[in-house]
Structure 1
Amino acid sequence: MNIQSVINREVFAPRDERILVAVEVKRRKRKKVPFLPTGGKGEYMTYICLSVTNKRPAQLLITKVKQFGGSAPFTRRSQWSVEQLRQVDGIDPNKDCPEFDLVFDNAFDQWVASSAAEKCIFIQIMYHACQTYWEGKERVPGGLGSPAGDQQKDQRASPGAQARRKSTVGPRPRQTEFVNCQSKLTGDACTVNLVIYRCKVFFNRMKKGMVSKQSSPQVGAGHRASPSGQRPPGGSMGSVVQRASQALQERGERLGRAENQTVDLMHKAQQFADTAHKLALKYSN
């Protein structure tokens, strides 16, 4: 079970919500609180999650979730509705980068994701979720705040009532603005890009897992370090790359030998065909 499924089970499912996407983040600039003593609270991980309520009408929510100590349960820290999310800043519209900003009515957070691919997945899903959410609000037939309902009520009401109604009804909520985001994240053709980014995330996690295993201390007499202080063979990323390059070289040599054998077989087959043709001509006469 991945992290997103665990967060959904522990944090969102008990509140009758469903998670859409989660991204692990760290602050680019740590907030300084002058009246608190220096020193951290220990190691913790932060996730920004996008969720939707199961009840109708559905609400789109942005939640900050933390996990202290690595093995402790996940804790919901802050939550905003999509109406409070004013802007999503992708920082660089020309390349994949892990940095992004979220601007709310009462907060401004500068984040850096664990990888550029995870940030791209998060922004892509958030953009299309926001588009669907706001379009659903505008398409409510005859409902309050919808164009059809407003027009019908204005036609039935007197001019004085229309004026009073216009003065009491406030402006429509401003939709979330996405700036400095790549066009491939906010375009219509998003399925292929999502698959590509998910593959990148998968390979990045595999790479991190391999590096962590290689760098972890070996236990036992058979894995002790040499007297010179060097790591044993196979205990570094360089040795892994060396073995991989050697395997590729050996595979290239085998392919070269197979190609030469194929050429020899083609020549022998041609010679056999010529001999058979000559024999056929000889005995046909």
Structure 2
Amino acid sequence: MSAKSAINKEVFIPHDEKMLVAVQVKRRTKKRIPFLATGGPGDYMTFICVSVTNKKPSHVSITKVKQFQGSSAFVKRSQWTINQLHQVNGIDSKKDCPEFDMTFDSGLDQWVAGSAGEKCTFIQILHHTCQRYSSARKPEFVNCQSKLLGGTSILHSAADSVTSAVQKASQALNERGERLGRAEERTADMMNSAEQFSVTAHKVRPHHMSLFHLEN
């Protein structure tokens, strides 16, 4: 099981939430923390996750999840609502880069993702989620490439692909039904023609027989 699948299973599913996206990050600037909650210093992996509740009305959260060295468990460290997010800074709107900043009510976090691609996917899905679920003030997205904010998002693309497949299947079934209907109509016409021929033949036959007897 991948780390992201494990996070969804351990952190979000038990709370009736669904994780939409997660990105592994490291800080660009170190925070001065007097101690760690684990009781001592150690290495750890950090993930920033976006999740939505399954129950309506939907609530979106941005959660910081950590996995400490020597442990297989994932621990929720901080969580914000989508309305507490003020700004997402993509750092460079001209090219892909792994760095990005997030500004919340509580302050600024400066991150670097594992790759530019992971960061781009995270920002695109986060932006789409904010547009869909944020009912109050929407966060500002600055210095982000236009491909991440405009046009068809990854989520829309997946939905569109499914919709397109359903439409094609429905069209194929309709066309097949039309062909079968036309074949049934032709069969019915042939049967009606055969029946009419048979009736006519039965009517004509006695007439021919009477003429035969008269001639003889």
Matches within 5 A, 1:137-216: 137=135, 173-191=136-154
Give TM-score scaled by structure 2 length: 0.67
Q: What is the distance in 2 between the residues matched to 1:72 and 1:28?
A: 25
**Are the aligned partners of 2:124 and 2:154 in contact in 1 as well (CA < 8 Å)?**
no
Q: Deviations over 1:130-168 (max 9, x none)?
A: 11113xx4xxxxxxxxxxxxxxxxxxxxxxxxxxxxxxx
Q: What is the distance in 1 between the residues matched to 2:104 and 2:76?
A: 18
Q: What is the distance in 2 between the residues matched to 1:62 and 1:104?
A: 10
Q: Which runs of 5+ in 2 are unaligned?
A: 159-216
> 2:42 corresponds to which residue?
42
> 2:20 corresponds to which residue?
20
| Residue aligned with 2:123, SS | helix
Q: What is the distance in 2 between the residues matched to 1:56 and 1:45?
A: 32
What is the one-letter code of the residue matched to 2:20?
A: L
Instruction: Tell me how far 1:79 sits from its aligned partner.
Output: 0.2
| Residue aligned with 2:109, SS | strand
**Are the aligned partners of 1:43 and 1:70 in contact in 2 as well (CA < 8 Å)?**
no
Matches within 5 A, 1:62-211: 62-69=62-69, 71-134=71-134, 137=135, 173-191=136-154
Q: Which has the higher strand share?
A: 2
Structure 1 179/19 Cα, relative in aligned 2: closer, same or farther at 3 Å? same
Q: What is the distance in 1 between the residues matched to 2:68 and 2:154?
A: 34
> 1:6 corresponds to which residue?
6
Q: What is the distance in 2 between the residues matched to 1:45 and 1:79?
A: 16
Structure 1 67/51 Cα, relative in aligned 2: closer, same or farther at 3 Å? same
The higher-RCO structure (CA 8 Å, 6+ apart) is 2
Q: What is the distance in 1 between the residues matched to 2:97 and 2:77?
A: 26
| Residue aligned with 1:46, SS | strand
> 2:174 corresponds to which residue?
none
| Residue aligned with 1:7, SS | helix
Number of aligned residues: 155
Give TM-score scaled by structure 1 length: 0.51
Q: Percent identity?
A: 59
Q: What is the distance in 2 between the residues matched to 1:181 and 1:122?
A: 12
Q: What is the distance in 1 between the residues matched to 2:65 and 2:12?
A: 10
Instruction: Tell me how far 1:48 sits from its aligned partner.
Output: 0.1
Which has the greater radius of gyration? 2
